[in-house]
Amino acid sequence: MSLVEISYFAAAVLFILGLKQMASPVTARRGIVWAGVGMVLATVITFVHPQVHGNYLLMLLAIGIGGGIAWKTGKEVAMTDMPQMIALYNGMGGGAAAAIAAVELIKQEPMSDSVQMLAIFGALIGSIAFSGSLIAFAKLQGIKQLRGAIRFKNQQRINAGLFVVTAWMALGIATSGTDYGMFTLFLFFALALAFGVMMTLPIGGADMPVVISLYNAFTGLAVGFEGFVLENPAMMIAGIVVGSAGTLLTQLMAKAMNRPITNVLFSNFGETTGEAQEVTGAMKAVEAPDAAIMMAFAEKVIIIPGYGMAVAQAQHKVWELVKLLQDRGVTVKFAIHPVAGRMPGHMNVLLAEAGVPYDIIYDLDEINEEFNTADVALVIGANDVVNPVARTDPNSPIYGMPILNADHAKNVIVVKRGQGAGFSGVENHLFFADNCRMLYGDGQAVASELIANIKEI
């Protein structure tokens, strides 16, 4: 076995170990470092690969440009923009896999049937992941023309027809040996990219965490396929691991929303066939001093963070608030819904950034029964994940989605900037409940007010 093969295998092992370490917040940082070392090793050893014929200047230029852009954007990106950055970078991976396939197919050199099949289907999946991720990025970025779900008449039929034609062309190229023409190859890539766009346009913002995860799986599979084409074990193993992990995560995310993946991709989220449950009651405001008293004299407080906390960059102040409550003997726990925020694990990352200990952060299944014994449920910027119509209204588009049982607490305090609906556009009946009070304002400013008032008690 050559040095190159040994190094690629070692890099693949580091990828696997790194991914395993990322399974726990305690070891996630170490896992990222290990995977990064594996990527550096795989990149450096490529310079001595026997098939690299002196293109060192181009390689260094590409690494310099790509690495420089990534370093700058990684340093400057706000936590609120992290979901769209991940969507963008994930798309780059799919695009890279598709580009590898394009280079190999343009050569029109003889390949075995199985290798050619993997090359073309890697190109198909990678192209879809690339263009689809770019649209997901645009939606998350709030670009006006692409914001929200974009739908038109017979959209699903047009998408189905586009996919059938693209898949038919893929199969034709995969089984034609070297007899396909350049125009056919170009048209195939154009259609694959178009399908990625069309597939993502009708998907609403509430489904973005699932979509990002799905395209991550697509990118991994595409990289794995092209690894077989190039006979590169690092790409094979890394791609298959990422693809399988992304697929599992996508299934878990869809389960957390109680929606099959086909429903996410091919259904119109937000459209219902019946009349939605009427909202009764009115929103009742509370001032920061009163909310501070409620929490300061509570025995148990459960905090539910959401995207609004990320927008306000309130996690550090929230953690300061928690420490004050703990000093008074209050038991404080964080409840995290699997799809809170705009990407998988978004809230966990924010809380880790603020230094919140992992042992007071709980997932939905671990914490839900405890709301019955909580004196206060403090909701900071969350909306759909605490909406009780998911349990009570069959006509609601979020009906059946598992939610955090915030409404079961004795008192609910919702920190919110205004009275609008959540990201899905569904009115939240929790805000009108008898045990709920609205504390209006920016999350960070409100947390600062609560801290000041508790200190005075």
CA distance to 50, 59, 310, 358, 389, per residue, from 2 (Å): 10, 22, 48, 43, 61
Catalytically annotated residue among 113, 359, 384, 434? 384
Contact 372, 300 (CB under 8 A): no
HSE-up (13 A, CA, CB side) for residue 371 = 26
Largest CA distance in the chain: 81
Residue 60 has a CB neighbour count (10 Å cut-off) of 11
Look up 384 and say whether it is catalytic. Answer: yes
Q: Please, which residues have CB within 8 angstroms of residue 65's CB and are 6 or more apart in sequence? A: none
Residue 208, both tokens = 């973005």
Return the closest-CA partner of residue 188 out of 108, 110, 101. Answer: 101
- Residues taking part in catalysis: 384
